[in-house]
Amino acid sequence: MNWARNLTFSAARVHRPGSVGELRQIVRNGTQVRAVGSGHSFSPIADTVGDLIRLDGLPRIVEIDRVNSMVTVSAGMHYADIAPEINRAGFALANLAALPHVSVAGACATGTHGSGDTQRCLAAAVAGIQWIGPDGNLNELQKAADPEVFAGSVVALGALGIVTRLTLEIEPAFDLRQRVRQGISLDDVANRFAEIFSAAYSASVFTDWHSGTAMVWLKQRTDQPTVHLQVGEPLSRPVHPTPGISPEACTQQLGVVGPWHERLPHFRAESPMWTGNELQSEYFLPRDQAGPAFSAIREIADLLAPILLVAEVRTVRADDLWLSPAYGRDSVTFHFTWIKNTVKVLPILQVVEERLSRFSARPHWGKITAMTPSDVTAHYQRADGFKNLLRTYDPDGKFRNQFIENHFPDVR
C-alpha cells in the first residue's frame, strides 16, 4: 500500500535490491518494471502488475563536488537523509518540500516542490541522471551536455528507466527563521498576494476557505533583508497547519534561527512519517491568475467545508522541464488535503476542477484528480516530445504502466 493507504499495489513481485548490479539483473529479466519511492503519491503513478522495485536498499551515497557545487546521491535516499550531510559539508539545497521524508528520485520524477517566488520545483536542481534502461545497462545524461533531451528526462514519471543516482546543484549553506501570522483575511491574501509571498524566501498560506481567514508561514533567510509583513497578527505559540493537531512534528517557529534543512520543510525530519489518514489534490495555475482563482474557490467554500481538512497556497518559479507542472510559467499552487473518503471527495473535486479549468490548471502528478488523462496532458506543450523519448529509451514499454499508457497513448 502507499503512504495514505488509499491504493493497493498490483505488483506480482516486490524487490529491494542491495546493489546496482542486483537491480540491473531484475530490470533485465523483467517484463513490466516500476520503481517506488517513499510511497507518498496518492495517484497510481508507481503501480505495476509486474515487478515493483524499492530503491531504499541501494548503497547510500552522498558525494559532494565542492569545485562545481554539486552533490551526487543515491536515488532511493530521502531528503531527510541527504540534507544533514550536505549541510555538514557547508552547502544547501535551494529548496525542500513540506515533508522531508520523500525520496529524491520520486520527488523529482513527479515535479514535487516547496514554495518561494524565486524557487523552482525540486527537479530543477537536477544536473545529472544515472538510470538503468530496459536492457539492464546503465545510462547517464548531463544537463550541460544535452540540455534539450535532459529537460524531458527529469520529470519523467518513472517511464524512461529506473533512476539509480541523481546529481543536484547546491549552494553555500544558509540559515532561516520561521514565523507564523494568523487572522489574515482572504481578501487581504488575494489583494496583497505579491506583497505576502515576497515577504520571505519561502511563504505558504494555509486556510479552510470557509472561515474567510488564513495564516501565513514565513521562512526568512538571515542573510537577506528582513521584511516586516503588516497583515494579521504574529503567533506566540507553535501551530500545526491542520487545526486541532499538535505542532510537535512541525519545524521550529517563533523566529528561532536554524539551518535551511530544519526550517524549509513544514515537518521535522526526525518525526515519524505516519500513515496519512487523508487524500490530497494540488493544481498549478499561472501566477498572474491567483486573484481570480481565489474568488473561484471562495465561491464554493461551503461545498468544501465538510470534506476539507486544510488547504495550502504556494508559489513556484517557472522551469523548462517538459512535464513539470510549472513548465514555462511562474505558478501559484492550490493544495487541498481532504478527508479520507473517495466517494465524498471525488464529486467535490470535479467541481473544484471545473472552477480551476478556466485557468489552465495542471494537477500534481502524484495527487488525486478527476481530470481525464487526455485533459491533463493537453496542458503540456511538450507531451509529444516526451512520447518520442518513450519510443527512444523504452521502445517496448517495459517501464510503462496503466497510468503512463493512459496519459501517453499510442506510443508504440
Residue 229 and residue 197: Cα distance in Å, rounded? 10
Q: Domain 62-172 is of which CATH architecture?
A: 2-Layer Sandwich (3.30)
pLDDT of 410 reads: 85
pLDDT of 2 reads: 80
pLDDT of 38 reads: 86
Residue 409 and residue 387: Cα distance in Å, rounded? 9
Residue 35 and residue 47: Cα distance in Å, rounded? 8
Question: From the centroid of its chain, how far is CA 229?
Answer: 27
Tens of pLDDT, residue by residue over 196-209, are 999 999 999 999 99
Question: Where are the domains positioned within the chain?
Answer: 13-54, 62-172, 175-374
pLDDT of 274 reads: 62
First-to-final CA distance of the chain = 30
Residue 399 and residue 20: Cα distance in Å, rounded? 17
pLDDT of 275 reads: 58
Query: Under 8 Å CB-to-CB from 91, ≥6 apart: which residues?
Result: 64, 69, 71, 170, 171, 172, 173
Which parts of the chain have pLDDT scores under 50? none
- Report the predicted TM-score, pTM, of the whole model to 2 decimal places: 0.96
pLDDT of 273 reads: 64
By the 8 A CB rule, do 46 and 38 touch? no
Query: Under 8 Å CB-to-CB from 93, ≥6 apart: which residues?
Result: 79, 83, 86, 122, 125, 168, 170, 171, 260, 261
Residue 110 and residue 123: Cα distance in Å, rounded? 8
pLDDT of 323 reads: 98
Tens of pLDDT, residue by residue over 299-323, are 999 999 999 999 999 999 999 999 9
Residue 380 and residue 342: Cα distance in Å, rounded? 27
User: β-strands 175-185, 233-234: how paired?
Assistant: antiparallel
C-alpha grid cell, residue 206: 494555509
C-alpha grid cell, residue 128: 545529472
CATH class of the domain at 175-374:
alpha beta
pLDDT of 277 reads: 87
